[in-house]
């Protein structure tokens, strides 16, 4: 009976405690050897270990820290905007000095500065915070471990992706110091406004070209890693759902980003070389005809931009769904309900996301036929999203859940993403969109998807994989405080936006819509919304403290504190070995979520992907395993 709990190390079989000892011994020996061969290639200097590292784990951490800082910075920009929306025309407390006279004379925010904050909030959150966190950080750290790979397929390219991203980020930050400030044409940078805008827009375009290049390098790396470096026995249908989510995400990044790169180059040429790709003939600005050849098309930019930016929405959400799936399966102690359906839905979602882009453009007068096409595809793409979300909900049914911090974030994700998704349906229908377009309803919709949706999933992921990265757990009490406060405040911010939007308040008004009589009843909500936003910042303090303090004082844990089945927990130490992750590449015998499967016991209620088949009481195999063996 002891055999079912044995783990293979090298060529021999051991009990988990013996295996743990053997791993520690292996690490000790490795360290000893490294110390003896000081010039050995394992032993690298400070720069190669911590700055220009090629180790996917360290690059993942670099991405995580950078992206979290950008997340905080982007959030900070919004907090200033929330003051202007709640108390238009009143001097900003505390920060007025920081903004300076050029942006806020006498502490009162100028319209140009408001536009600057809005454009940069969107850009930073999407391209510098969420995508690098979801793909760069979680993807880099977790995917190679989950597929049993020693590293990414191209470690140097991986390092380059991070540094190109970092340069892009620095350029975006520098643009705040450009004459007339950073980009002010929204995160969508629609021409002709963006072409005639100040110098900050040029910085924005150059920064974007760096960020796009980084994403392209990264996505090639992820795809090759997942296709080529899967451990023996790990077939595609045995991949953890998180890996599937990253796989499809990488395809989206690979194929959707180049058109924006093309568009970015064209807009850059419009601004620097005086071309007219996006400038129509006879454009009048401030009563004067713009000196340009003309003949271009502003709509061309919108098509190219949304051809990227709609798949980008799924880039934001798929890794989040992957993290939630991992956390839910682990804490319900059950297999995911409908794993295959979820995988097929994700693939279908990936395909469909390329043919829905023009639902962002119903108001451009494309014609009813095109509108009808895009609203049909938009309705179709909601089906796979619902399949995935429903599967996750059904996975909860009849389980005895563990309510730890990662699970709370994952559970909150489900209804929050549900609200975000369902409120998107009226926007996908051309008739309803005409009323709702560019109102706060749109802001409410996509922030529900991304903020209490994706960001909550990212938080679940941070609390879940923190023990893998550091060998220590984050504090549960602080985690729960962080969760409950965040959940309340984030809903107070975003739920009223639906009402404001239905009342017709435009999303881009500097004074929040003071001049519009119809808006006044709904405008009052701005004050509690803004207070909630500032309180949300305070609610992050327990997290920030927890994140750093737990590195030193967190509860020490073993290699598999959550009793998880996937390889990153079951086959390597916490933190994993510096070079190569595994003492020996694991061999995979089964699917990713064998919790409470036949052959498990109460004290050992899971079968790791790399564990040997358990032995039945009669000495043979359990029927399920016997069938699986025959099929193999």
Partner 1 sequence: MEIPYTIQARPDTGLYNGKLGIWLFLASEVMLFGALFSSLILLRTGAETWPAGWERLNVPLATLNTFILIGSSVTVILSWASLRLGDFRKAKIYLGITLLCGLGFMVIKAIEYGTKFSHHYYPSTDTFYSVYYMMTGLHGLHVLGGMVVFAYLLGPGAKMWEKEPGRYTNRVEVTGLYWHFVDLVWIFLFPILYLL
Binding residues (CB under 8 A) for partner 1: these are 150-151, 153-155, 216, 219-221, 223-224, 227-229, 254-259, 261-263, 265-266, 269, 273-277, 292-293, 295-297, 300, 303-304, 307, 579-580
Token output for 493: 């911010």
CB closer to partner 1 out of 295 and 623? 295
- Shorter beta-carbon distance to partner 1: residue 275 or 439: 275
Instruction: Using alpha carbons, select from 269, 309, 311 the residue that is nearest to residue 293.
Output: 269
Closer CB to partner 1, 174 or 577, in the complex: 577
Half-sphere exposure at residue 352, Cβ-oriented, CA atoms within 13 angstroms: 21
Token pair of 259, please?
């058109």
Structure token digits, residue 364: 């451009």
Angstrom distance (rounded) from CA 357 to CA 354: 7
CA distance 173 to 529: 27
Nearest to 183 by CA among 91, 112, 83: 112
Q: Which residue lies nearer to partner 1 by CB, 29 or 293? A: 293
User: Shortest Cβ distance from residue 214 to partner 1 (Å)?
Assistant: 13
Please say which residue, 150 or 426, places its beta carbon nearer to partner 1. 150
CB nearer to partner 1: give 221 or 550: 221
Q: C-beta of 578: minimal distance to partner 1 in Å?
A: 9
Residue corresponding to tokens 């990264």 = 218
Structure tokens at 540: 């992050």
Find the shortest distance in angstroms from Cβ 337 to partner 1: 29
Evaluate whether 609 touches 592 at the Cβ level (below 8 Å). Answer: yes
The first and second tokens of residue 318, run together, are: 């798929």
Q: Which phi and psi angles does 379 have, rounded to 5°?
A: -65, -40
- Least separation, in Å, of the C-beta of 297 and partner 1? 6
**Residue 356: CB minimum distance to partner 1, A:** 17
Sequence-distant (≥ 6) Cβ neighbours of residue 311 within 8 angstroms:
252, 255, 256, 353, 354
State the minimum distance, in angstroms, from the CB of residue 210 to partner 1.
16
The residue (of 267 and 546) whose beta carbon lies closer to partner 1 is 267
d(C-alpha 390, C-alpha 345), whole Å: 11
DSSP states of 280-325 as a string? Answer: -TT-EETTEE--S-----HHHHHHHHHHHHHHHHHHHHHHHHHHHH
Between residues 274 and 528, which has the closer beta carbon with respect to partner 1? 274
Name the β-bridge partners of 12: 9
Query: To which residue do tokens 């096409």 refer?
Result: 373
What minimum distance in Å lies between the beta carbon of 139 and partner 1? 16
Minimum distance of partner 1 from residue 76's CB (angstroms):
34
């Amino acid at each position: 009976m002891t055999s079912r709990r044995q783990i293979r190390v090298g060529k021999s079989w051991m009990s988990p405690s013996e295996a743990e000892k053997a791993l520690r011994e292996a690490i000790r020996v490795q360290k000893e050897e490294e110390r003896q061969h000081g010039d050995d290639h394992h032993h690298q200097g400070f720069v190669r270990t911590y700055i220009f590292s090629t180790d996917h784990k360290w690059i993942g951490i670099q991405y995580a820290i950078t992206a979290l800082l950008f997340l905080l910075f982007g959030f900070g920009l919004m907090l200033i905007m929330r003051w202007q929306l709640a108390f238009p025309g009143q001097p900003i407390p505390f920060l007025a000095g920081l903004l300076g006279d050029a942006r806020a004379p006498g502490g009162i925010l100028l319209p140009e500065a408001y536009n600057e904050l809005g454009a940069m909030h969107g850009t930073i959150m999407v391209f510098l915070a969420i995508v690098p966190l979801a793909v760069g950080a979680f993807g880099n750290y977790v995917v190679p471990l989950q597929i049993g790979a020693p590293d990414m397929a191209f470690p140097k390219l991986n390092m380059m992706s991070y540094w190109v991203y970092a340069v892009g980020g620095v350029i975006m930050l520098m643009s705040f110091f450009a004459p007339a400030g950073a980009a002010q044409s929204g995160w969508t940078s629609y021409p002709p406004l963006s072409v005639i805008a100040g110098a900050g827009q040029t910085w924005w375009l150059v920064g974007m070209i760096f960020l796009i290049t980084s994403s392209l390098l990264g996505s090639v790396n992820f795809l090759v890693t997942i296709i080529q470096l899967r451990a023996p026995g790990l077939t595609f249908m045995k991949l953890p759902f998180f890996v599937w989510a990253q796989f499809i995400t990488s395809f989206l990044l690979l194929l959707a980003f180049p058109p924006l790169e093309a568009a970015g180059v064209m807009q850059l040429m419009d601004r620097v070389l005086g071309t007219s790709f996006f400038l129509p003939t006879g454009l009048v600005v401030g009563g004067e005809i713009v000196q340009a050849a003309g003949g271009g098309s502003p709509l061309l930019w919108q098509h190219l931009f949304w051809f990227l930016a709609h798949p980008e929405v799924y880039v934001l959400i798929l890794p989040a769904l992957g993290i939630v799936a991992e956390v839910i399966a682990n804490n319900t102690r059950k297999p995911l309900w409908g794993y295959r359906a979820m995988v097929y839905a994700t693939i279908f979602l990936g395909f469909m996301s390329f043919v829905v882009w023009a639902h962002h453009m119903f108001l451009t007068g494309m014609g009813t036929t095109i509108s009808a096409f895009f609203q049909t595809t938009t309705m179709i793409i909601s089906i796979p999203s619902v399949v995935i979300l429903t599967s996750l909900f059904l996975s909860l049914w009849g389980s005895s859940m563990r309510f730890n911090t990662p699970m709370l974030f994952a559970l909150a994700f489900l209804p929050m993403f549900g609200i975000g998704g369902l409120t998107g349906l009226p926007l996908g229908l051309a008739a309803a969109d005409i009323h709702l377009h560019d109102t706060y309803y749109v802001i409410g919709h996509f922030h529900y998807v991304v903020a209490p949706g994706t960001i909550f999933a990212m938080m679940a992921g941070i609390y879940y994989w923190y023990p893998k990265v550091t060998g220590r757990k984050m504090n549960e009490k602080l985690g729960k405080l962080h969760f409950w406060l965040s959940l309340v405040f984030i809903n107070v911010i975003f739920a009223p936006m639906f009402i404001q939007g239905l009342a017709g308040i435009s999303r881009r008004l500097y004074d929040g819509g003071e001049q519009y009589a119809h808006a006044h009843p709904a405008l009052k909500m701005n004050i509690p919304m803004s207070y909630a936003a500032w309180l949300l910042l305070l609610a992050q303090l327990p997290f920030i403290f927890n994140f750093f303090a737990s590195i030193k004082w967190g509860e020490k844990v073993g290699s598999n504190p959550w009793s998880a089945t996937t390889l990153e927990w079951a086959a390597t130490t916490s933190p994993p070995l510096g070079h190569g992750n595994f003492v020996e590449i694991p061999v995979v015998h089964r699917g990713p979520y064998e919790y409470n499967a036949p052959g498990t016991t109460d004290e050992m209620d899971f079968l790791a992907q790399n564990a040997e088949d358990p032995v039945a009481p009669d000495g043979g195999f359990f029927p399920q395993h016997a069938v699986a063996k025959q099929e193999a």
